[in-house]
Structure 1
Amino acid sequence: MRRINQIIIILGVVFALLGGSEGVAGTKIVFWTWNRHDMEVKERLFEKFEQEHPDIDVEMVIHADQYQDMLKLAWDAEMPPDVFQIPENTLVVQQVEAGWLTPLDQWITPEFKARYMPGIFRKHISLVKGHIYGILSSIFTAKLFYNKTLFKRAGLDPEVPPKTWGELRDYAKKITKAGKGRFYGFVIGAKDPWVYSMNVEWMAMVAGGTGFN
């Protein structure tokens, strides 16, 4: 339900961008996404939005393959969508630098921000150079699994896992050194290389970095 409410809020902001009012008839919002797996959920929320705003139609376009390329083609053809989900392996700052996004500052009030958990409106996530360009549609958390045997081999207390990024880095270095090429201090469970790079990038942003350039 939280995800649905967030997307409805996003559409409401876009409605304001389009100069929305009850007197604007025939307005259409084009929404692009690569994710077809929650299509039924999005369709239900769009129906709810259209019921609340009968003069507005929402058209959802799904590009499951080559999504990033399709976005670029749309902008090159000067026919971009009104709202789109940023691909998982790209950053908001990249879309801003490409000139694809409009600042939302005047519609994002303190009361609006208060509806979200702390950390949603932050640098490189939705803020670029002090301006808000996007709103997260979902969040997730990652779990850290650690091998107590390797902790012991590295001289670490197996009952005291790392609590900060700094500790994680230090522990990983010690375990890697103890492994001498036989085992390593930190790995990300991922088959595709882009998933690995994406996770590293996210961790860098959480730590205050900018990710890859």
Structure 2
Amino acid sequence: MLFAAAATVAAANGGGASAGSGAPARTEPRTPGLRSPDAGFARDMAVHHQQAVEMSFIVRDRTQDEAVRTLAYDIANTQANQRGMLLGWLDLWGLPKVVADEPPMAWMRAASGGGDDRAGHDGHDGHGGRTGDPASGALMPGMATKEELERLGAASGRDAEVLFLQLMTDHHKGGVAMAEGCAQQCGTPVEKALAQGMVDAQRSELTLMADMLKQRGAAPRG
């Protein structure tokens, strides 16, 4: 806190000195707009992460396999923390966590040349994939449906492990696509860095989950 205050004072003093010497004054970072990629990604990924946390807690109680339980714990812990950061940024920016008329992934369509983010509601994410069927609970790329979550909750042992790994593989693939979108399109440096970190970490976990599925005589879906 003291460091932050000192940095603020130093920046203010530095800005005054620059103005006196004729150098351009430093400008404050622009707060993201309501429908910017920064805000859209924060809202959508917070929802996406919440389902990963939910699936991780489900499988934790459906198997005694230490490797799967450890992976589930790591995913739940990491994504819960990241979700808190995303929601915290929305609070900091004074933006809502939910926009009633905003379809999932609108920020990616708009940033990729889809025009106004109210247009193109054909269920596609603008990158060749589907955003999901809201009625089934699959709101964004890779998200599990309500039926799949129910199946996971009813499974046990190896069946639960395989289904969790398959669902989480799909989930990570969708999450990587979303995070790549923010890494390319978001304007807030710290959010771009977080998004790139998600890409790197989830790609590593995708490799791990492929190996874990192979050990169980299974493979990723699709």
Q: TM-score range by the shorter chain?
A: under 0.3
Relative to the length of structure 1, the TM-score reads 0.23
Structure showing the higher helix proportion among its residues: 2
Relative to the length of structure 2, the TM-score reads 0.22
- The structure showing larger relative contact order (alpha-carbon pairs under 8 Å, at least 6 residues apart) is 2
Structure showing the higher strand proportion among its residues: 1
